Amino acid sequence: MTEPVIRNFEGASNPLLGPGDGVSSYVMLYVRHEPGSSSPDHVHPWEHQAFITEGAGILTCDGVKYPVKAGDAVLVPGGVPHQFTNTGEVMMSRVTVNPVESVK
């Protein structure tokens, strides 16, 4: 029997789950944004998915601003500049799933 990999985000680095854990196709990241903070405005060739687990903010995607909140599932297209910004007063957290190529 193959054992599952279980890792708590506390004290872990990103990717939370990746090739070192036997992941073959996708990696999982857990990202937390303090109130007023944001991810870098960046672009990469792969699409990725994000699930907002707490808080609220704005996803800027190709210059257009989209509100996001806890419970929202987001598909960010590949090749498009994007940035997540916490506009709330509490932590905004998200789980992001990227192709394994993103960490190679």
Enumerate the domain spans of the chain: 25-103
Give pTM, 2 decimals: 0.91
Q: What confidence tier does 2 reach under pLDDT thresholds 50, 70, 90?
A: confident
Q: Is residue 1 pLDDT above 80, yes or no?
A: no
Residues 6+ apart with CB under 8 A from 58: 65, 66, 67, 68, 84, 85, 87
pLDDT, one tens digit per residue, over 42-90 is: 999 999 999 999 999 999 999 999 999 999 999 999 999 999 999 999 9
Residue 2, token pair as written in the block? 């193959």
CATH of 25-103, one of 3.40.50.920, 2.60.120.10, 3.90.1150.170, 3.40.50.720: 2.60.120.10
* 67/74 Cα distance (integer angstroms): 11
Segment 7-27 shows an average pLDDT of: 92
